[in-house]
Amino acid sequence: MASPSPSPSPSPSRLTRPPVPMKLHISNRQKLLSSLRRHLSDSSLPLHGFVFLQGGEEQTRYDTDHIELFRQESYFAYLFGVVEPGFYGAIDIASGKSILFAPRLPADYAVWLGEIKPLTYFKEKYKVSMVFYTDEIAEVLQNEYQESNKSLLFLLHGLNTDSDNYSKPAEFQGIDKFETDLTTLHPILTECRVIKSDLELALIQFANDISSEAHVEDQVGVFLLPCGDITVEMSFLNRHCSYTCICATGGNSSVLHYGHAAAPNDRTLQDGDMALLDMGAEYNFYGSDITCSFPVNGKFTSDQSLIYNAVLDAHNAVIAAMKPGVRWTDMHKLAEKIILESLRRGGILVGNVDDMMVERAGAVFMPHGLGHFLGIDTHDPGGYSKGMERPKEPGLKSLRTIRELQEGMVITVEPGCYFIDALLVPAMENSNTARFFNREAIRRFQGFGGVRIESDVHVTATGCKNLTSCPREVQEIEAVMAGAPWPPDKVSIYSALHFHNQKKISGFVVQTPNLEMMEILQC
């Protein structure tokens, strides 16, 4: 590989950060109160007590004093917008008053970590009714509510159906003096998060805009190629990624959650590889989740085009069909069927596609679900509400939701087609599915990896809106990799950088030690 060419001066993003008014979190609290009061009234229960949540705590790396980068617990962030650790929050159900409890910091905090803010600072910053210290929780809540000997606290405790983990109910010294309810709050608050407000959508849109720009222009996201390896840093403004980035090439792009410690983003790029980059930035808690697939040398082969277009057709068909009332399970099956039809036309599969659907052959090539809710968490909760059962069939059992779409939902659309030996070999040996596979063609795709195309989509009253803006068509991708601007009607900030010598391009941006200057590596 030759030495890097001269690097361009860094350019700022064309995007302007939207404001983040505390009105967003005030409206989230009001939404919860309305839903909770309605539930209590319908259940003939009194409208009293407190919603009470514990925020996140800073964590150190094992037994060291190295503090990991703190990110607020998501339900707490949704209701209060607090970025600092160690807080608690309460909402009086009867009056609607909101109360924050801040940790009482030691004097030497000011020496090592900066100014100790007064309580009035947090009251103004987070637009709550009152602020006290955490060692005053029991006294304050008892004083605020004196209609009975014991105040009632609605604590957050429930199952996250994406992770199979339970949310942690708040704990504090003196909680034994209160009555607690562990069942009411979680399903109501989770359902509040499913439907996004206009204020939330503005932040999700910006996270998408900045991530789309990063995918295309290599700006906010910085692609690293030390010794040909790939890692990606997608942090923006508040230093958080929405999730651990997946940056796979070649056969690694068939590893669905590639990029973990046992399979790090470390494969040297090879001419002829497909790349699969799954990256998303977070902005003020709200995230994005975008995947782009493309040939690392800038030109699709016929086989790469076949698989890529199969996935793109499924992606586009699902978005065209999305609207309120549509079942997500049907969208998953639509994507499967389109991919299977494309593989049959391409000679990879043989036989009747409807028969393949009955035998769940689509799950061999797309074992994951079609998409998931997106918001403050990459896998936002609420996919399975009470009474919903997860399907048991291959592929369908991986669906993160089976709900009907509703206006205001934000959900990812991410069909994929992968050549995974662990799935292909058993399917070709199974008497029910063996007849569908052209073994010679399958051998041709060994080591190919896979393709995924992922966009974040907002369900509107009459259809949906794609919040993601990346080149998707084959000709668009090849043009952008050859130096064309994106979007096509705007001047690219890197329009002067043309990827000449296309047949031997490695073609990614390298991060230099000062995190500012970038260079293009070429063969």
pLDDT score for 13: 59
Q: Which pLDDT value is given to residue 18?
A: 86
Residue 409 three-state SS: coil
Instruction: Please tell me what DSSP assigns to residue 181.
Output: E
Instruction: Tell me phi and psi for residue 89, to 5 degrees.
Output: -145, 145
- Statement: residue 237 has pLDDT above 90: no
- The pLDDT confidence band at residue 523, using thresholds 50, 70 and 90, is very low
Query: Above pLDDT 70, what percent of the chain?
Result: 85
Write the CA distances from 489 to 74, 219, 248, 468, 500, integer angstroms.
38, 19, 30, 17, 22
Query: What is the reported pLDDT for 227?
Result: 27
pLDDT on residue 19: 85
Name all contacts of 488-495 with Cβ < 8 Å and 24+ positions apart.
490/14, 492/217, 493/11, 493/14, 493/217, 493/219, 494/8, 494/11, 494/217, 494/218
- What's the average model confidence in pLDDT over 39-46? 97
What pLDDT score does 330 carry? Answer: 98
Q: Quickly state the pLDDT bin for 38 (edges 50, 70, 90).
A: very high
Q: What angle do CA 246, 213, 506 make, to 5 degrees?
A: 60
CB-CB contact of 265 with 246 (8 Å): yes
Peptide bond into 85 cis (omega under 30): no
Is the pLDDT confidence value at 66 over 50?
yes
Chain mean pLDDT for the chain: 87
pLDDT tens profile 369-427: 999 999 999 999 999 998 999 999 999 999 999 999 999 999 999 999 999 999 999 99
Rounded Cα distance, 413 and 373, in Å: 10
Mean pLDDT of 225-247: 56
Kindly report, residue by residue over 103-117, the tens digit of the pLDDT.
Answer: 999 999 999 999 999
* Structure-block tokens of residue 112: 């090592």
Q: Which helix (H) or strand (E) holds 165?
A: strand 165-166
Q: CB–CB of 391/369 below 8 Å? A: no
Q: How confident is the model at residue 267 (pLDDT cuts 50, 70, 90)?
A: confident
pLDDT above 60 for 21: yes
pLDDT (tens digit, 9 = 90+) per residue, 443-472?
A: 999 999 999 999 999 999 999 999 999 999
pLDDT of residue 457: 98
Q: Which of the pair, 386 or 39, is modelled with greater confidence? A: 39
DSSP-H helix ranges across 231-352: 302-321, 328-345
Handedness of CA 21, 466, 364, 386 (dihedral sign): positive
Give the model's confidence band at 344: pLDDT under 50 very low, under 70 low, under 90 confident, else very high: very high
Q: Spell out where 332-459 has E strands.
A: 410-413, 416-418, 450-452, 455-459
Write the pLDDT tens digit of every residue in 484-521: 888 887 543 333 223 222 322 233 332 222 222 222 22
Q: Is the pLDDT of residue 481 over 50?
A: yes
